[in-house]
C-alpha cells in the first residue's frame, strides 16, 4: 500500500476527538501533522505552551522544532522523543496505513513544565518573554503525577495506533467506494452503447 507522492486527507473531526481524550489526561499540547508537515489539528491545553506560542516574541521556536521533529518521524517512519526549546519532553509518532505508508505524525508533550526558577529564566530569555509572565504560566499549569505521565505516554502511543487504524479503515472504504463507482460507470457505459446500437 506504499503511496508515493500521494497525500491522504487526515480526518480532522475523528483525530480531534482522540486528541481531546488524551489532553484530558495530560493537559499539555497535542499536534497532528499531515505527511507534508502541515498542521491538521492542534489541541493546546497548557497555559505554559499557550504563553510560549502566543505571548512570546519567539513563538517560531516551538513551531519550527515541532514541525522538524514530525518531519523526522515521517521520513524515518519511527517515533522520536526529545526535549523542546520550552524544556518539555515531546513524543512524536508516525501515523501509518501500514509499515511502509506513513501519512502523518502525532506529537504529544508528555512531561510537566520546568519548575526550576533557573530553567524558567533561561527559557524566558530564549523566547524573549517577560519571566514573570512565563512563571505565572508555569504556576497555572497543573502538575501531572509521575505515574499518570507514564500512563499518558502509553496512552499517546495507543492513541496514535488508534488514529492509524481508523484512518486505514477510512482509506480502505474510500478506495472500495471509488472502485465500485468505476465499475458502475463501466457497466453504465456498456448499457448505453448497447442501447445506441439497437
- For the ranges 20-24, 120-124, 158-162, the lowest mean pLDDT is seen at 20-24
Give a yes or no: residue 142 inside a domain: yes
Q: Retrieve residue 22's grid coordinates.
A: 488524551
Contact 167, 11 (CB under 8 A): yes
Give a yes or no: residue 187 inside a domain: no
Q: Retrieve residue 189's grid coordinates.
A: 457505459
Check pLDDT > 70 for residue 196.
no
Check pLDDT > 70 for residue 150.
yes
Give a yes or no: residue 75 inside a domain: yes
DSSP 80: E
**pLDDT value for 72:** 95
The predicted-structure confidence for 2-31, as pLDDT tens digits, reads as follows 333 345 566 677 788 888 888 888 889 999
**pLDDT value for 7:** 54
CA–CA distance from 185 to each of 26, 78, 195, 198 (Å)? 49, 41, 15, 20
Question: What's the number of domains the chain is made of?
Answer: 1
Q: pTM of this prediction?
A: 0.81
Q: What CATH number does residue 146 fall under?
A: 3.30.450
Q: What is the mean pLDDT of the chain?
A: 85
pLDDT tier for residue 154 given thresholds of 50, 70 and 90: very high
**pLDDT value for 82:** 96
Give a yes or no: residue 182 inside a domain: no
Give a yes or no: residue 24 inside a domain: yes
Give a yes or no: residue 141 inside a domain: yes
**pLDDT value for 124:** 96
Range 118-124 average pLDDT: 96
CA–CA distance, 36 with 104 (Å, rounded to integer)? 8
Q: Which residues of 160-188 are buried (b: 16+ CB within 10 A; e: fewer)?
A: bebbbebbbebbeeeeeeeeeeeeeeeee
Give a yes or no: residue 196 inside a domain: no
What is the percent of the chain with per-residue pLDDT over 90, rounded to a whole number? 51
**Residue 101: domain span:** 12-172
The predicted-structure confidence for 65-78, as pLDDT tens digits, reads as follows 999 999 999 999 99
Give a yes or no: residue 183 inside a domain: no
CA–CA distance, 168 with 12 (Å, rounded to integer)? 14
Amino acid at each position: 500500500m506504499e503511496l508515493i507522492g500521494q497525500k491522504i486527507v487526515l480526518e480532522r473531526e475523528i483525530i480531534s476527538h482522540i486528541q481531546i481524550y488524551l489532553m484530558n489526561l495530560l493537559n499539555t499540547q497535542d499536534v497532528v501533522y499531515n505527511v507534508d508537515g502541515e498542521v491538521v489539528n492542534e489541541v493546546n491545553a497548557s497555559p505554559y505552551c499557550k504563553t510560549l506560542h502566543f505571548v512570546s516574541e519567539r513563538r517560531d521556536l516551538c513551531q519550527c522544532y515541532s514541525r522538524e521533529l514530525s518531519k523526522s518521524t515521517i521520513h524515518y517512519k519511527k517515533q522520536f522523543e526529545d526535549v523542546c526549546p520550552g524544556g518539555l519532553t515531546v513524543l512524536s509518532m508516525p501515523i501509518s496505513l501500514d509499515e511502509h505508508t506513513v501519512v502523518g505524525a502525532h506529537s504529544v508533550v508528555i512531561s510537566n513544565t520546568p519548575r526550576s526558577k533557573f530553567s524558567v529564566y533561561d527559557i524566558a530569555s530564549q523566547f524573549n518573554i517577560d519571566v514573570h509572565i512565563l512563571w505565572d504560566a508555569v504556576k497555572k499549569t497543573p502538575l501531572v503525577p509521575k505515574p499518570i505521565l507514564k500512563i499518558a505516554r502509553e496512552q499517546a502511543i495507543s492513541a496514535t495506533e488508534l488514529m492509524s487504524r481508523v484512518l486505514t479503515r477510512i482509506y480502505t472504504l474510500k478506495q472500495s467506494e471509488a472502485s465500485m463507482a468505476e465499475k458502475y460507470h463501466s457497466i453504465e457505459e456498456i448499457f448505453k452503447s448497447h442501447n445506441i446500437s439497437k
